[in-house]
């Protein structure tokens, strides 16, 4: 059975120095497209879902390039609005060893940041959909996108569409105080919330025990308390937390946790040698949405999501370009990386 999923957010042009060059070394930039909710849509299309991405991009050729990148991977783009003057850009320098990756945003006044209430017919867009997904990045773009997001989740609730949100706190976009005020108003419409080690603390002030993400030290007991508190505060059906132990920019331990209000499910831990970590959380979110739509039990769902996002760390670009069978093999326990002949 094919599931219909709608995601809403910003797609951007990503410019990166080749390989592991620094910005100051670069004489050229590699260009790809990506963004939190677009990345989720691509993952879902890879798994066979009818994935629709909603945004606004300029009418000029760069806006069309972003649409083409989505269409090429099977994402439906008929609900994308056209207008405004610019597509957001971000520059990404890949870190290595103890040198962290670096992101510089150039997204002010992008087309999507100028949307407002009433711009999208959410009842029509969500008609027949099974799931709606957004991240905290979209309402962080301004009061207009925040209002549009609120309209979307209200429509989803009216139509009986499940809603997931990845908290995705970005300190370069808004303050913890603003994030808490806006996101708290959206959470009453959310069924499944997803976050990383820091999101719950930055957005809602809920800290995970003795965890210290800068030292790569995670307290699983603390994250269980975070999940319980989120369910208690907002009534979520499920809380998922991605668990990254950053040993260096190149080497991470990666796993995930899922709480359904009664039981905790912790995935296996992967030792990841990172090629590109951008989009890692989005790939987890996309795979989790698929797993839940398929009715996978909690442990199987979090194993599938963790395996998908583990694979994403080996792929350059924002999109997780893996198929269903590849994720199933890794989730099933084959992490050998042996040549497939």
The reply to whether 337 falls in a domain is: no
The 10s digit of each residue's pLDDT in 140-165 is: 999 999 999 999 999 999 999 999 99
> Model-level pTM?
0.94
Q: Which region among 120-129, 138-147, 166-175 has the lowest average model confidence (pLDDT)? A: 166-175
Number of neighbouring beta carbons within 10 Å of residue 55:
30
The reply to whether 202 falls in a domain is: yes
Q: What is the CATH number of the domain that holds 45?
A: 3.40.1190.20
CA–CA gap between residue 18 and residue 22 (Å, rounded) = 9
**CB 322, CB 46: distance < 8 Å:** yes
**Would the pLDDT of 260 be above 90?**
yes
The 10s digit of each residue's pLDDT in 3-14 is: 999 999 999 999
**CB 159, CB 127: distance < 8 Å:** yes
The 10s digit of each residue's pLDDT in 274-323 is: 898 898 899 999 999 999 999 999 999 999 999 999 999 999 999 999 99
Work out whether the CA dihedral 277, 283, 288, 294 comes out positive or negative.
negative
Number of neighbouring beta carbons within 10 Å of residue 310:
27
The reply to whether 293 falls in a domain is: yes
pLDDT band at 219 (very low <50, low <70, confident <90, very high): low
Which percentage of the chain shows pLDDT scores above 90? Answer: 84
The reply to whether 255 falls in a domain is: yes
pLDDT band at 220 (very low <50, low <70, confident <90, very high): confident
Domain region containing 261: 4-331
Domain count for the chain, please give it: 1
The reply to whether 340 falls in a domain is: no
* Helix boundaries (H) for 29-175: 36-46, 61-71, 122-126, 137-140, 143-159
Q: Which region among 18-27, 90-99, 280-289, 331-340 has the lowest average model confidence (pLDDT)? A: 331-340
Pairing mode of beta strands 192-195, 162-166: parallel
Crossing angle of the two packed helices 298-312 and 280-293, in degrees rounded to 10: 150
**Would the pLDDT of 218 be above 80?**
no
The reply to whether 339 falls in a domain is: no
Give which of 277, 135, 131 is closest to 191, Cα–Cα: 131
The reply to whether 341 falls in a domain is: no
Active site residues: 282
The reply to whether 338 falls in a domain is: no
Q: Which region among 108-117, 123-132, 211-220, 264-273 has the lowest average model confidence (pLDDT)? A: 211-220
CA 169 to chain centre: 11
């Amino acid at each position: 059975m094919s599931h219909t999923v709608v995601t809403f957010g910003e797609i951007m042009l990503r410019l990166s120095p080749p390989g592991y060059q620094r910005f100051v070394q670069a004489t050229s930039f590699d260009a790809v497209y990506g963004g939190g909710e677009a990345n989720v849509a691509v993952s879902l299309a890879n798994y066979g879902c009818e994935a629709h991405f909603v945004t606004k991009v300029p009418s000029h050729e760069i806006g069309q390039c972003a649409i083409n990148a989505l269409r090429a991977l099977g994402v439906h783009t008929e609900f994308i609005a056209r207008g405004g003057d610019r597509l957001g850009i971000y520059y990404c320098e890949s870190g290595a060893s103890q040198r962290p990756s670096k992101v510089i945003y150039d997204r002010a006044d992008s087309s999507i940041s100028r949307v407002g209430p009433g711009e999208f017919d959410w009842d029509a867009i969500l008609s027949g959909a099974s799931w709606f997904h957004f991240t905290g990045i979209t309402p962080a773009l301004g009061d207009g996108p925040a209002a549009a997001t609120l309209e979307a989740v209200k429509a989803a609730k009216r139509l009986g569409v499940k809603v997931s949100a990845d908290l995705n706190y970005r300190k370069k976009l808004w303050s913890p105080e603003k994030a808490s005020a806006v996101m708290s108003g959206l959470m009453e419409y959310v069924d499944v919330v997803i976050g990383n080690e820091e999101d719950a603390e930055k957005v809602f002030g809920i800290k995970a025990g003795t965890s210290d993400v800068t030292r790569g030290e995670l307290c699983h007991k603390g994250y269980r308390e975070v999940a319980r508190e989120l369910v208690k505060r907002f009534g979520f059906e499920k809380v998922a937390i991605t668990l990254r132990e950053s040993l260096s920019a190149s080497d991470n331990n990666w796993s995930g946790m899922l709480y359904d209000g009664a039981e905790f499910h912790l995935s296996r831990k992967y030792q990841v040698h990172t090629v590109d970590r951008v989009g890692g959380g989005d790939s987890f979110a996309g795979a989790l949405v698929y797993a839940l739509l398929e009715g996978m039990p909690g442990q199987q769902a979090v194993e599938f999501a963790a395996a998908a996002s583990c694979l994403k760390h080996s792929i350059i670009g924002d999109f997780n370009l893996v198929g269903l069978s590849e994720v199933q093999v890794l989730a099933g326990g084959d992490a050998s990386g042996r040549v497939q002949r």
